[in-house]
């Protein structure tokens, strides 16, 4: 018999790359398909805070050369965390709303989900047009008044909760810092975990989604 979660109204926000997937897909694509090393300099400037993620991602995406057929073949190789389906099933059984908020691009993200048998998720991500062998990024979730992020995850999170909700954020990277700070519970891995630890901010450290599944099961009855 499945366990029933009896806590407050939960809303789960999942980062995608290296959170749901087992690697950072965009970073891997940059290594494989970039025409030059300009993406490395953009990455360093972003990490130092010299540029926002929009400028970084736009420049990086425009340096990639890949056709739609080549992209589809590559995306078939991308795997997701083996516990994601199990965790998603647990959340759906308990009527917990689960959303993806990502800096990745809609076509890439949705294709990976479909390839791995994941359907019906709410997804908020950047968008991309594939023109022959070029990627043209579009950023529908900008917040000009907030900053230079390609996707203002903070804004997306706040727009999808109400006062009665308890928000849970699952992430791993620099792009998750701002949005995760708005959540009531933060499940953090890798860079995000170290960030929260160094800042002495409350969080639940994780190595993968299995840790979240077990955390919720302990609170279920």
pLDDT in tens, 159-205: 999 988 999 999 999 999 999 999 999 999 999 999 999 999 999 99
Instruction: Flag whether 94 is in a domain.
Output: yes
Instruction: Flag whether 152 is in a domain.
Output: yes
Distance of CA 112 to the CA centre of its chain: 13
Left if phi > 0, otherwise alpha if psi is -120 to 50, otherwise beta: which for 92? alpha
Percent of the chain with pLDDT over 70: 96
Cβ–Cβ < 8 Å for 66, 29: yes
Instruction: Flag whether 73 is in a domain.
Output: yes
Instruction: Flag whether 4 is in a domain.
Output: no
Instruction: Flag whether 1 is in a domain.
Output: no
Instruction: Flag whether 21 is in a domain.
Output: yes
pLDDT exceeds cutoff 90 at 143: no
CA nearest to 70, candidates 130, 146, 4: 130
- The interaxial angle of helices 106-115 and 25-33, nearest 10 deg, is 110
What is the pLDDT at residue 175?
93
- Provide the b/e sequence for 162-198 (b: ≥16 CB within 10 Å): eeeeebbbbbbbebbbbbbebbebbbbbbbbbebbee
CA nearest to 92, candidates 113, 112, 118: 118
For residue range 82-104, what is the model confidence (pLDDT) as tens digits? Answer: 999 999 999 999 999 999 999 99
Cα–Cα distance, 89 to 120 (Å, whole number) = 12
* CATH code of the domain in which 82 resides: 3.40.50.1000
Overall number of domains in the chain: 1
Instruction: Flag whether 145 is in a domain.
Output: yes
Query: Per-residue confidence at 1, pLDDT binned at 50, 70, 90?
Result: very low
User: Domain span at residue 40?
Assistant: 9-218
Cα–Cα distance, 15 to 67 (Å, whole number) = 26
Query: Per-residue confidence at 106, pLDDT binned at 50, 70, 90?
Result: very high
What is the pLDDT at residue 221?
62
Instruction: Flag whether 172 is in a domain.
Output: yes
- Other CB atoms within 10 Å distance of the CB of residue 68: 12
pLDDT exceeds cutoff 60 at 2: no
């Amino acid at each position: 018999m499945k366990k029933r979660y009896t806590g407050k109204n939960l809303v789960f926000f999942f980062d995608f790359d290296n959170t749901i997937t087992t690697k950072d897909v965009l970073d891997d694509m940059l290594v494989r398909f970039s025409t030059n090393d300009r993406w490395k300099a953009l990455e360093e400037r972003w990490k130092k805070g010299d540029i926002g993620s929009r400028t970084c991602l736009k420049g990086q995406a425009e340096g990639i050369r890949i056709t739609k057929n080549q992209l589809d073949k590559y995306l078939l190789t991308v795997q997701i965390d083996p516990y994601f389906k199990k965790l998603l099933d647990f959340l759906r059984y308990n009527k917990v709303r689960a959303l993806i908020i990502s800096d990745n691009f809609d076509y890439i993200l949705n294709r990976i989900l479909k390839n791995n048998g994941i359907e019906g998720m709410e997804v908020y991500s950047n968008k991309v047009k594939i023109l022959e062998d070029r990627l043209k990024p579009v950023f529908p979730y900008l917040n000009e008044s907030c900053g230079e992020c390609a996707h203002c995850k903070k804004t997306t999170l706040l727009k999808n909760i109400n006062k009665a909700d308890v928000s849970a954020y699952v992430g791993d990277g620099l792009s998750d810092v701002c949005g995760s700070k708005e959540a009531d519970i933060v499940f953090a891995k890798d860079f995000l975990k170290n960030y929260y630890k160094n800042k002495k901010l409350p969080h639940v450290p994780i190595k993968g989604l299995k840790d979240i599944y077990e955390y919720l099961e302990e609170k279920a009855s």
